[in-house]
Amino acid sequence: MTAARLTLPSPAKLNLMLHILGRRPDGYHELQTIFQFLDYGDEITFAVRDDGVIRLHTEFEGVPHDSNLIVKAAKQLQAQSGCALGIDIWIEKILPMGGGIGGGSSNAATTLLGLNHLWQLGWDIDRLATLGLTLGADVPVFVRGHAAFAEGVGEKLTPVDPEEPWYLVLVPQVSVSTAEIFSDPLLTRNSPPIKVRPVPKGNSRNDCLPVVARRYPDVRNALNLLGKFTEAKLTGTGSCVFGGFPSKAEADKVSALLTETLTGFVAKGSNVSMLHRKLQGLL
């Protein structure tokens, strides 16, 4: 066995706004959104194997090994690159699944970038992002590693640099079905497209919020509680709810009041992914 081993972060993301412009003939929705990363996430450790086997050693309840996006990403990269090496993978999972903060997509992107490095494939970011899109609409932004204004289904990315506040993220203990929200007849699907860059301040709403808040009382409760202290927003289709603060101390103060009844965490917003900062340090 070869000794090459690497541990990389797999950060969370927030949708600072999310507008739904319409439904496409293929059933997907045309979106406009802003992705920003958090300096908070999972950690994935990779160890190169010389026998071509891809093995995720961490088990996920209800997710078969070969259905995990981490394994899918590794197998697709291996197949498309013709690489004969394999990989052992372990993940320290702290991001909630189904929370709207991109855990699975981020894990897939970290896998693509980590294996590109360890297997010495030399793929550029564009090629990795194109492969990432076949795994999920949110994977390319994690591959590219910069905050972005996204259009299409979320794959057309323009780098942006919004403010980087401290965030308090609340994690209601419910899993929101994205498909359910996007098929709800009451979902707004006709938001006018934003043409101004940067996005004007009054356009920070999430069109999914009214539907999610109506269907999920726990999310509605989190929005109401956080809304007493700052503008409370929904990321993606939830369930996670977040609000910005000018300092860690202020975010921590509100967190101490709210996390007795709700799970949550405080993290710094970042326009450059901590995964990319770590990879830059390896070059």
Residues tagged in the binding site annotation = 96-106
Tokens of 267: 């993290």
Chain-centroid distance of CA 235 in Å reads 10
Instruction: Please indicate whether residue 13 is annotated as part of the active site.
Output: yes
Q: Which letter does DSSP use for residue 155 in this model?
A: T
Q: For residue 28, what are the contacts with CB-CB under 8 A and spacing of at least 6? A: 153
Tokens of 33: 């959104």
Query: Taking Cα atoms as reference points, which of 28, 19, 12, 16 lies closest to residue 235?
Result: 16
Write down the catalytic residue from 39, 42, 138, 207: 138
Write down the catalytic residue from 13, 39, 42, 72: 13
Orientation angle between helical segments 217-226 and 248-258, nearest 10 degrees: 130
Residue ranges of the annotated binding site for ATP are 96-106
Tokens of 73: 């990403």
Q: For residues 10 and 110, is the Cβ–Cβ distance under 8 A?
A: yes
Active site residues: 13, 138
